[in-house]
């Protein structure tokens, strides 16, 4: 699971108000190279939750992103875009779990696929 | 990529071994899937460099078609782990990246407006009444640009009314890029005629859906 996917997922348990971002428990992280697409990154920059991405990438062992939302002028820097690219699209949570920030409920991630199915009493 | 080439690549994908009737797991044929995504890309620019979600992805045909047409990030969502396993094998065979999530579409909570386009071949609601409408309603909440979906021709008026009145679509148009009565082979001698729709969601302002 890429961190771009993580940036969209929210805990979906009934009654949970602040289900985003899900905390990451990383057991295995893999890196898969993909083509660098600066225009896509510039477009995504305004759409994603920066803090969630920076925290998630740190948990996954990649500590190169600033903690706070950077000024959009950084988008002119190739070096910044490369790091953003790597964190957003190349880091994959292969094994581990996503944890609801409000209830602590674990959603397991196996073979890169998060299982977000709810139990009957959570719907 | 040419349409013929796309269709041929999709035609080689592995499909359900044992389709689950209760989930209405009909494979999405290579013919219909290639035309659906080809239209989305070539007539509307809704695929390349975009974030695309495939709702009820099954073996991944539509989502994989999106990756082949250069979507930047594709996610397939399905409730069934066996389908997701096949989708994952299909992605490996094509040497493309498709993210997969196991979930029920109706229970999905999505943050932000990251997804541009939703593509789907939803359950037609023949086994579970309203399943098709749950998919459509969620898709229109998640997509910021367009939703492409297949629905039974017999539900045409209902789909249009619900999309525009209840689910926040600003437009709902039929695409005639398919043969007029596209047949879904359900059983040997029972076919279902389907429509290909393109819905455009109204612009959203909230930060979450």
Q: What's the pLDDT tens digit per position in B70-106? A: 999 999 999 999 999 999 999 999 999 999 999 999 9
pLDDT-based confidence at residue B132 (cuts at 50, 70, 90): very high
Q: Tell me, what's the pLDDT at B188?
A: 46
Q: Report angle CA B198, B128, B191 to the nearest 5 degrees.
A: 65
Crossing angle of the two packed helices B81-94 and B61-68, in degrees rounded to 10: 20
Q: Is it the case that residue B14 has pLDDT exceeding 70? A: yes
Q: How many CA atoms lie within 13 A of B38 on its CB side?
A: 17
Say how far apart CA B137 and CA B166 lie, in whole Å.
Answer: 8
Place of tokens 């779990």: A97
Q: What is the DSSP string of chain B?
A: --HHHHHHHHHTS---SS--GGGT-----HHHHHHHHHHHHHTT--STTSEEEEET-TT-HHHHHHHHTT-SEEEEEES-HHHHHHHHHHHHHHT---EEEE--GGG--BBTT---EEEE----SSSSTTHHHHHHHHHHHH-SSEEEEEEEGGGHHHHHHHHHHTS-EEEEEEE--S-TTPEEE-SSS-EEEEEEEEEEEPP--SSB-
Using alpha carbons only, give the angle B170, B60, A107 rounded to the nearest 5 degrees. Answer: 90
B81 contacts in A (CB within 8 Å)? Answer: 113, 115
pLDDT bracket for residue B7 (50, 70, 90): very high
Where is average pLDDT lowest: A44-58, A68-82, B168-182? Answer: B168-182
Amino acid B17: pLDDT: 75
Distance from CA of A9 to the nearest CA of B (A): 5
Domain boundaries, chain A: 3-112
Nearest to A116 among B103, B112, B208 (CB): B103
Q: What is the pLDDT of residue B177?
A: 64
Sequence length of chain A is 123
CATH topology of domain A3-112: N-terminal domain of TfIIb (2.20.25)
What is the overall mean pLDDT for chain B?
89
- Domains along the sequence of chain B with CATH: 3-201 (3.40.50.150)
pLDDT of residue B18: 76
**Set of chain B residues whose Cβ sits within 8 Å of the Cβ of A117:** 79, 102-104
Distance from CA of A63 to the nearest CA of B (A): 23
Residue B17 distance to chain A (closest CA, Å): 21
- The verdict on a CB contact (< 8 Å) between A117 and B73 is no
Taking contacts as CB-CB distances below 8 angstroms, the residues of chain B near A85 are none
Lowest mean pLDDT among A76-80, B86-90, B127-131, B153-157: B127-131
User: Residues A78-82: what's their mean pLDDT?
Assistant: 98
pLDDT tens digits, one per residue of B135-192: 999 999 999 999 999 998 889 999 999 999 999 999 999 987 665 445 555 544 456 7
Structure tokens at B173: 């148009």
Instruction: Evaluate if residue B15 carries a pLDDT over 90.
Output: no
- pLDDT value of residue B24: 76
Average pLDDT over every residue of A40-51: 97
Say yes or no for a CB contact (<8 Å) between B103 and A113: no
Chain B: give the shortest CA distance to residue A64, in Å: 22
Provide the Cα torsion B189, B154, B146, B97; round to 10°: -20
List residues of B whose CB lies inside 8 A of any A CB: 49, 51, 72-73, 75, 79, 81, 84, 88, 97, 99-104, 107-115, 208
Judging by DSSP bridges, how do beta strands B146-152 and B169-175 pair with one another?
Answer: unpaired
ipTM of the complex as predicted? 0.96
pLDDT of residue B184: 55
Burial code (b: 16+ CB inside 10 Å, e: under 16) for A91-123 equals bbbbebbbbbbeeebebebeebbbbbbbeeebe
- Position B208 scores a pLDDT of 45
Size of interface A-B (CB pairs under 8 A): 80
d(CA B191, CA B29): 13
């Amino acid at each position: 699971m890429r961190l771009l996917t993580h940036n969209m997922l929210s805990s979906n348990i009934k009654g949970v108000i602040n289900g985003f971002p899900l905390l990451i428990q990383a057991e295995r992280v893999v890196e898969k190279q993909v083509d660098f697409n600066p225009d896509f990154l510039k477009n995504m920059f305004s759409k994603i939750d920066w803090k969630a991405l920076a925290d998630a990438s740190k948990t996954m062992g990649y500590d190169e992103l600033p903690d706070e939302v950077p000024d959009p002028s950084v988008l002119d820097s190739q070096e910044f875009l490369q790091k953003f690219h790597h964190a957003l699209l190349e880091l994959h949570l292969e094994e581990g779990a996503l944890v609801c920030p409000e209830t602590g409920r674990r959603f397991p991630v196996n073979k890169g696929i998060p299982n977000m199915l709810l139990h009957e009493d959570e719907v | 990529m040419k349409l013929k080439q796309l269709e041929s690549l999709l035609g080689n994908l592995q499909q359900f071994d044992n389709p689950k009737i209760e989930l209405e797991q009909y494979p999405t044929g290579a013919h219909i899937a290639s035309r659906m995504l080809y239209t989305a890309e070539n007539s509307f620019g809704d695929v390349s460099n975009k974030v695309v979600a495939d709702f009820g992805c099954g073996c991944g045909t539509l989502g994989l078609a999106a990756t082949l047409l250069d979507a930047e990030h594709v996610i397939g969502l399905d409730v069934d782990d066996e389908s997701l396993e096949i989708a994952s094998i299909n992605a490996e065979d094509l040497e493309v990246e498709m993210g997969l999530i196991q979930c029920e579409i109706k229970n999905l909570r999505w943050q932000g407006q990251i997804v541009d386009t939703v593509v789907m071949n939803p359950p037609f609601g023949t086994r579970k009444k309203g399943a098709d409408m749950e998919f459509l309603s969620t898709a229109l909440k998640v997509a910021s640009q367009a939703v492409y979906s297949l629905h039974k021709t017999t539900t045409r008026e209902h789909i249009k009314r619900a999309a525009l009145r209840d689910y926040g679509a600003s437009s709902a148009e039929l695409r005639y890029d398919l043969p007029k009565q596209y047949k879904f082979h359900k059983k040997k001698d029972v076919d279902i005629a389907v429509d290909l729709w393109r819905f455009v969601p109204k612009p959203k302002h909230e930060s979450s859906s």
